[in-house]
């Protein structure tokens, strides 16, 4: 049953992320072509300000989900109901806070952002983009996280796939018909209202949760620590766009957002492969199956490091040609930023490398013990970005992200080694050395691959060539240092044919 649910979650999550990536490239391109870089920058800037709440499942939601692992494993319906009711109350309260936050944002944002749009234009756009966020926390957050904790995340992933496709088609038609950006974004919000409604209906039908359960002791431990960790995570993730909004230009925000489209797509692919693993590690930790836990963690660490090195290595070679093709015909900003792209890719490669250690912290419910790491990383990113943005612009904020991600990755690996998985830190050091070795050889082997006349066809041919070369490097180096893992991967692929 574990393997079947893991397979269902991983497959549906992977399909969701691929769909998200495809749709994520289509809509910004339409906005860029029809509304220009400044409007695209404004939309992405507002999105980042709203993501303080839009990514709430990384904070309190993560604690809510982690708290459910043990009662779900024990089939303790009383405890499950108490956690569910507590979580729903908290999300409802946060929805009300979100409403107040949006009102403040409407009043303040038009004056702090370095933009040339009128107050009414900007304020109404914020309203249009915030509707779905409010509905998500008021109606659907608890249900989605509950299904994920019960290793049935594929239910909500499938709903998201449908709404993403529906939204992309609707926005394409509206833009083609000449609709304003406000109508386009309001349509998106209304379509995304489908998600919480469907999840509520499913949970009500398939689970016997007592939604009137009364409890004396708070069933979700470390709730506020999770919120603190979440805020620090969002600050870390959103600093670049916010700093560029305040201290630079919306054109630079637009340039950053286009590069981040590629980076975000890669991040989503990695998150897709780890969504099911987190629930599995959470269950193993709750049951204290220590040997199996170490086995799963060790495999996850190697797989994520290897995938990160391969995928981000290829991206480092291919991202500039892709961006040049993607932004062809757009001349109101300079999208050719090679130094910025290299630093940003390394920074988010570190983000993906930290995933197994981040997953272990969430599965072990160690929020209180680790929240200072998130705060320190957030402050490091913010200070470095603000100090460097005036002199180096996009490169400055990318350096801030790299410094913060590197610190967080190393800190988490050490913490997990000493407090949760008890995985030897020398395994992490060895893995990092292998990652660097692969990267150096891969860069040298592909440095002469050039794309002179930009087109998607020529880019695809070059991408295949780069992937083959990096793939060979990854296999050869791992055959030397991680032969047993490589054999296990090959055997697993054969068995799934």
Higher pLDDT, 369 or 136: 369
Tell me the average pLDDT across 182-187: 87
How confident is the model at residue 387, as a pLDDT? 92
The beta-carbon contacts of 201-205 under 8 Å, at least 24 apart in sequence, are 202/143, 202/147, 202/155, 203/143, 203/146, 203/147
Question: Would you give the distance in Å from CA 340 to the centre of its chain?
Answer: 20
Confidence label for 492 from pLDDT (cuts 50, 70 and 90): low
Higher pLDDT, 275 or 400: 400
CA-to-CA distance for 365 and 313, rounded, in angstroms?
Answer: 33
CA-to-CA distance for 343 and 334, rounded, in angstroms?
Answer: 17
CA-to-CA distance for 68 and 145, rounded, in angstroms?
Answer: 9
Contact 310, 474 (CB under 8 A): yes
Token reading at 364 = 């072990």
How confident is the model at residue 259, as a pLDDT? 92
Q: What are the tens digits of pLDDT across the range 52-98?
A: 655 554 456 667 777 787 788 778 888 888 888 888 887 777 778 77
| Segments in 113-152 forming alpha helices (H) | 119-135, 141-149
Q: What are the tens digits of pLDDT across the range 371-391?
A: 788 888 888 988 999 999 888
DSSP 58: G
Higher pLDDT, 190 or 278: 190
Give how far Cα 280 sits from Cα of 66, 293, 328, Å: 11, 9, 44
Residue closest to 136 by CA, chosen among 20, 235, 51? 51
| φ, ψ dihedrals at 423, nearest 5° | -90, 130
Q: What are the tens digits of pLDDT across the range 408-426?
A: 999 988 888 888 777 788 8
Tell me the average pLDDT across 280-287: 70
How confident is the model at residue 57, as a pLDDT? 46
Lowest mean pLDDT among 46-55, 141-150, 395-404, 445-454: 46-55
Higher pLDDT, 10 or 402: 402
Confidence label for 152 from pLDDT (cuts 50, 70 and 90): confident
Higher pLDDT, 119 or 446: 446
Tell me the average pLDDT across 423-443: 91
Mean pLDDT, the chain, rounded, equals 81
Sorted by sequence, the CB contacts under 8 Å of residue 341 that are 6+ apart come out as 259, 316, 319, 320, 323
Tell me the average pLDDT across 187-199: 84
Neighbours of 23 (CB within 10 A): 18
CA-to-CA distance for 378 and 239, rounded, in angstroms?
Answer: 8
Lowest mean pLDDT among 96-110, 154-168, 331-345, 458-472: 96-110
CA-to-CA distance for 357 and 355, rounded, in angstroms?
Answer: 5
Does residue 342 have a pLDDT over 90?
A: yes
Q: What are the tens digits of pLDDT across the range 18-33?
A: 888 788 788 888 888 8
CA-to-CA distance for 358 and 408, rounded, in angstroms?
Answer: 9
How confident is the model at residue 439, as a pLDDT? 94
Confidence label for 150 from pLDDT (cuts 50, 70 and 90): confident
CA-to-CA distance for 182 and 165, rounded, in angstroms?
Answer: 20
Contact 32, 265 (CB under 8 A): no
Tell me the average pLDDT across 399-405: 92
Does residue 275 have a pLDDT over 70?
A: no
Share of the chain above pLDDT 90, in %: 18
Higher pLDDT, 476 or 10: 476
Does residue 470 have a pLDDT over 90?
A: yes
Q: What is the dihedral of CA 429, 432, 436, 439, to 10 degrees?
A: 160
Higher pLDDT, 457 or 115: 457
452-473 exposure pattern, b = at least 16 Cβ within 10 A, e = fewer: eeeeeeebeebbeebbebbeeb
191-228 exposure pattern, b = at least 16 Cβ within 10 A, e = fewer: bbbbbbebbeebbeeebebeeebeeeeebbebbbbbbb
How confident is the model at residue 234, as a pLDDT? 67
The single residue listed with the structure tokens 């592909």 is: 446
Token reading at 213 = 């359960």
CA-to-CA distance for 241 and 397, rounded, in angstroms?
Answer: 9
CA-to-CA distance for 156 and 147, rounded, in angstroms?
Answer: 8
CA-to-CA distance for 281 and 296, rounded, in angstroms?
Answer: 7
Higher pLDDT, 295 or 443: 443
Highest mean pLDDT among 63-72, 139-148, 313-322, 452-461: 313-322
Predicted structure pTM score:
0.68
């Amino acid at each position: 049953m574990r393997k079947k649910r893991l397979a269902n979650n991983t497959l549906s999550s992977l399909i969701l992320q691929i769909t998200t990536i495809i749709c994520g490239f289509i809509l910004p391109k339409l906005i860029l072509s029809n509304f220009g870089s400044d409007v695209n920058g404004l939309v992405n800037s507002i999105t980042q300000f709203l993501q303080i709440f839009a990514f709430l499942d990384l904070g309190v939601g993560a604690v809510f989900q982690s708290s459910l692992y043990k009662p779900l494993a024990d089939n303790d319906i009383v405890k499950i109901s108490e956690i569910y009711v507590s979580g729903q109350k908290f999300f409802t309260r946060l929805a009300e806070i979100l409403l107040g936050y949006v009102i403040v944002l409407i009043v303040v944002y038009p004056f702090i952002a370095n933009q040339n749009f009128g107050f009414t234009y900007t304020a109404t756009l914020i309203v249009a983009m915030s509707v779905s966020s409010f509905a998500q926390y008021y109606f659907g957050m608890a249900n989605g996280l509950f299904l994920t904790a019960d290793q049935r995340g594929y239910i909500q992933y499938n709903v998201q796939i449908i709404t993403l496709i529906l939204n992309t088609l609707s926005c394409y038609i509206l833009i083609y018909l000449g609709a304003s950006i406000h109508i386009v974004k309001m349509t998106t919000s209304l379509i995304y209202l489908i998600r919480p409604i469907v999840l509520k209906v499913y949970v009500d039908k398939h689970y016997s949760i007592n939604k009137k359960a009364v409890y004396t002791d708070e069933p979700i431990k470390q709730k506020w620590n999770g919120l603190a960790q979440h805020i620090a995570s969002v600050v870390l993730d959103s600093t670049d766009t916010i700093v560029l909004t305040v201290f630079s230009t919306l054109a630079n925000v637009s340039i950053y957002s286009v590069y981040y489209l590629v980076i975000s797509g890669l991040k989503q692919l990695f998150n897709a492969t780890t969504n099911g693993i987190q629930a599995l590690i959470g269950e193993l930790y709750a049951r204290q199956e220590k040997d199996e836990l170490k086995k799963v963690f060790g495999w996850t660490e190697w797989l994520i490091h290897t995938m990160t090195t391969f995928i981000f290595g290829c991206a480092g070679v291919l991202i500039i040609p892709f961006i040049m093709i993607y932004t062809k015909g757009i001349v109101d900003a300079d999208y050719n930023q090679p130094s910025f792209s290299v630093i940003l890719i390394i920074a988010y490669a570190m983000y993906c490398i930290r995933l197994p250690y981040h997953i272990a912290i969430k599965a072990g419910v160690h929020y209180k013990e680790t929240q200072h790491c998130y705060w320190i990383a957030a402050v490091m990113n913010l200070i470095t970005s603000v100090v460097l943005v005036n002199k180096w612009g996009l490169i400055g904020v990318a350096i801030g992200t790299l410094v913060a991600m590197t610190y967080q990755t190393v800190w988490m690996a050490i913490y997990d080694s000493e407090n949760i998985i008890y995985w030897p830190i020398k395994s992490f050091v060895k893995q990092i050395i292998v990652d660097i070795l692969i990267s150096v050889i891969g860069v040298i082997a592909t440095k002469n691959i050039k794309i002179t006349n930009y087109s998607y066809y020529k880019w695809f041919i070059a991408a295949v060539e780069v992937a083959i070369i990096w793939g060979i490097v990854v296999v050869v180096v791992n055959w030397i240092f991680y032969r047993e893992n490589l054999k296990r991967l090959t055997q697993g692929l054969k068995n799934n044919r």
